Structure 1
Amino acid sequence: MTTTLRVIVDQIIAPVPGALGRYTHDLTRAVIAATPRDCQVEAIVSSSPPDDYDRVLVELPGLAGLYKTTLARRELAAAWQLGLTTSPGPGIIHAPSLFAPLRRHDRSVDGSQVIVTVHDVLAWTHPEALSSTSVAWQRGMLKRARKHADAVVVPTHALAVRLGEITDLGDRVRVVGTAPRDGLAIGADAPIRAARMGLPSEYLAVPGTLEPRKGLVDVLAALGRRGVPEIPIVVLGPDSWGDQHLVTVAEEFGISPNRVTQLDDLDAADLAVVIAGASAFIEPSHDASAGTAIIEAFSLATPVIHSDAPAFLEVSAGAGLAVPVGVGDGYGDRLAAAITSIVTDAQLAEQLAIAGSDRSRAFSWRDSAERIWQLHADL
């Protein structure tokens, strides 16, 4: 008898797949590759155009089948939130997000399981960062998960703690880490890619937006401090947030526009070139649920500076240079000291590069996939 694990992969064909789409893609490919004997993997997608179905089959080779719901994504999300549809029926289901058919079931009767994944708790901690519709949907789906999910996967123990402060899931929470995105590697065409993107010969790479909690403004403030090396910065994110613009904010801190390069929506190969070529990768977010960006920088042997957000400390395990966020304006001063130390101390930079490279080996999609299979087996 063959056991079928059905994974909800709808985010891959969403209008904006984003980080969740990458997670869904990379984890599902690994789950397929790690399929145990007498098991198989099917995918679940909402009603979509034929080209989207074909895309799923191309991006996820090895699928045993593709279940297509009768409702389109928007309608399916609303129906699942209210528990109004039985689609896709009983079975063993893994959801890379809260987008899942959470309803009453008894796995002791027919073996049905539903496991969902929570990537952050922004709907509770920073609702202003999301639309009111998204906040309501996430809060509603977590309530359903509390009632009906057989297990809830999170990427870090830090997020597990925060989730426990929001809702009581008992012993159903499981930590399954992330890993570098598929294709994040340096190829022979790296110099060509670097030239095309206009990368400086020396620079700092920083992900994020001008939203205060992301910490990019703190990095700009740090670079504007007296005595900090005038090194260029490559921002991996949008060039504006609300009515604030990156170059304008940089100039307010005394940073010349020619020191700022902004890149967004890079493919994995381009991103690898940017990160690997940086003097340091800075992850300054005040708050975090996972540390995938840090893991990616570690995998490319780039020295990492990061805030002391618990998720970052957990993922880094001392392989990066942690900077306490604290309160007030002191964070900018501490970032300035950390940046100066790495840029001016080649030995420190090399030590961090080696430590990060070693730490990156603790994370792989294969390991994550095997943990997912084991979790379903345990249930």
Structure 2
Amino acid sequence: MPELVVIAEQLLAPVPGGTGRYTAELLRALAETVPDGWTLASVVARHADVEAARVPGVDGPRVLALPPRALVAAWQLGLPWWPGGDAVHATTPLAPPRAPRGRRLSVTVHDTVPWTHPETLTPRGVSWHQKVIARAARRADALVVPTQAVADDLGARVAGKAPVHVIGHGVTDLPGEPVDLLLPAEYVLAIGTVEPRKGIGLLIEAMARFDGPPLLLAGQPGWGELDPAELAREHGLPADRLRVLGRLTDAELAAALRGASVLAMPSLAEGFGLPVLEAMAAGVPVVHSDVPALVEVSGGAARVVPSGDVGALAAALREVLGSPSLSATMRTSGLTRSAEFSWRSAGQALWSVHTAALPEPGPEFGGSSPHLS
């Protein structure tokens, strides 16, 4: 039987972030929607412990012989190491340079930040992403993007033959059991890796411009070495109005979402904006920047402010917090909008990318990779 192999390396990254969430949820959805006659497996680089990449219903993770840095270098140099399977899906641009004859490769490109906001990444990260995404556009059999906004911008920046499929994310089924995080009665919540492009500094400055509830930040520190406490001191936000929650479990994230008065996402750039969708699904009003992908995802159900406009962000937050009727209207609109997205639909759409185009299995199909350890 033909096999789809998913590269799940992001699940083992030091800071998995939104792409880690995407990888885990997509794998679960693919496992629930395996077409008749197909099998599903995952693969990772060599790590001492790969338990975090294990997903029920998915064979693996199979472990490649190369450790992470060596695998990145090998594929960046164009070495044709195929991780096995008749079709491979890379959940990030970390992917083989091309598929062997008779096999098929698809690659998810989450955003165009390396071109639009290179200052929010390391120079090495910008160079790597631009090169491997451009190569995937030329050599992969398909590119997957989360929004039409990314598809349009990518098409304007990268030339290639690979067809682009817009496959949105879904709403994560977060645990419902109560978790005591000692949360305040009212608060503004921000979810995401604490790094420059998430607009954390803008949000802290906006919060300091009005008296109100505290700001809670949920997410691991990322690139850029942002210090929220120092930013609060710089902008005059009292220490008791800022709380850094750090990385949360799914149960803790669910509790933080359900208790929030409003979710703020003033990002400078996004490819999808999963916290926007998850907040709307939890009945939480959302205020976000006018980044095209966020506008596309919220679909008119959120309050949108110009990117980088601290005054507009402060005014929108103050308005939503101060108007129960507006909050109620936004909750209803958000619940309706979020119901249009599901991980199951995403899994089915990705399967169709491969099942609609893969030829019948022949002598060159199947078998394991000689690079598996």
Alignment TM-score, normalising by the size of structure 1:
0.86
CA contact (8 A) 2:140 2:162 kept: no
Residue 269 (structure 1) aligns with: 251
Q: Distance in 1 between matches of 2:148 and 2:14?
A: 31
Identify which range, 30-39 or 237-246, moves more after superposition: 237-246
Q: In the TM superposition, what are the counterparts of 1:124-203 in structure 2 within 5 Å?
A: 124-170=115-161, 172-181=163-172, 184-187=174-177, 189-190=178-179, 193-195=180-182, 199-203=183-187
Could you tell me how far 1:205 is from its partner in structure 2? Answer: 0.8
Which secondary structure state, in structure 1, belongs to the residue aligned with residue 81 of structure 2?
Answer: coil
Once the two structures are overlaid, the 10-residue window that deviates more, 31-40 or 127-136, is 127-136
Q: Relative contact order (C-alpha < 8 Å, sep 6+): which is higher?
A: 2
Match of 1:283 in 2: 265
The 2-side partners of 1:229 and 1:152 are apart by 46
Q: Is the 8 A contact 2:80 2:98 kept in 1?
A: no
Structure 1: distance between partners of 2:222 and 2:128: 27
1:207 corresponds to 2:207: no
CA offset at residue 104 of structure 1?
Answer: 5.8
Q: Spell out the pairing of 1:24-103 with structure 2 (5 A cutoff).
A: 24-49=23-48, 51-52=49-50, 55-56=52-53, 59-64=54-59, 66-89=61-84, 91-103=86-98
Q: Please, which runs of 5 or more residues in structure 2 have no aligned partner?
A: 358-373
Among 339, 352, 359, the residue aligned to 1:361: 339
Mapped to 2, the partners of 1:338 and 1:142 lie a distance apart of: 36
Distance change in 2, residues 1:360/1:254 (3 Å) = same
Note the C-alpha offset of 1:252: 3.6
Q: CA 1:302 to 1:245, structure 2 compared with 1: closer, same or farther past 3 Å?
A: same
Distance 1:279 1:114, change over 3 A: same
Higher helix share: 1
Residue 185 of structure 1 deviates from its aligned partner by 3.7
- Corresponding residue number in structure 1 for 2:203: 219
Tell me how far apart the structure 2 counterparts of residues 366 and 173 of structure 1 sit (CA, whole Å).
20
Does the 8 Å CA contact 2:176/2:251 hold for their aligned counterparts?
yes
Deviation at 1:242, TM superposition (A): 5.4
Q: Secondary structure at the match of 1:262?
A: strand
- The count of residues paired between Structure 1 and Structure 2 equals 357
Distance 1:75 1:213 in 2: 28
1:116 Cα offset (Å) = 0.5
Quote how far apart the aligned CAs of 1:313 are.
0.7
What displacement does 1:133 show?
A: 3.0
Query: What is the percent sequence identity of the aligned residues?
Result: 37
C-alpha contact (below 8 Å) 1:114/1:151 kept by paired residues? yes
In the aligned structure 1, how far is the partner of 2:294 from the partner of 2:132?
Answer: 27
| Cα RMSD for the two superposed structures | 2.4
SS at match of 2:96: coil
* Mapped pair 1:349 → 2:348: no
Q: CA deviation at 1:372?
A: 0.4
Aligned-partner Cα distance in 1 for 2:280–2:356: 32
**Contact preservation (8 Å) 2:137, 2:162:** no
Q: What are the Cα deviations for residues 16-49 of structure 1, in whole angstroms up to 9, with x where unaligned?
A: 4333222111101110110011111022222333
Alignment partners' CA distance in 2, 1:125 and 1:254: 31
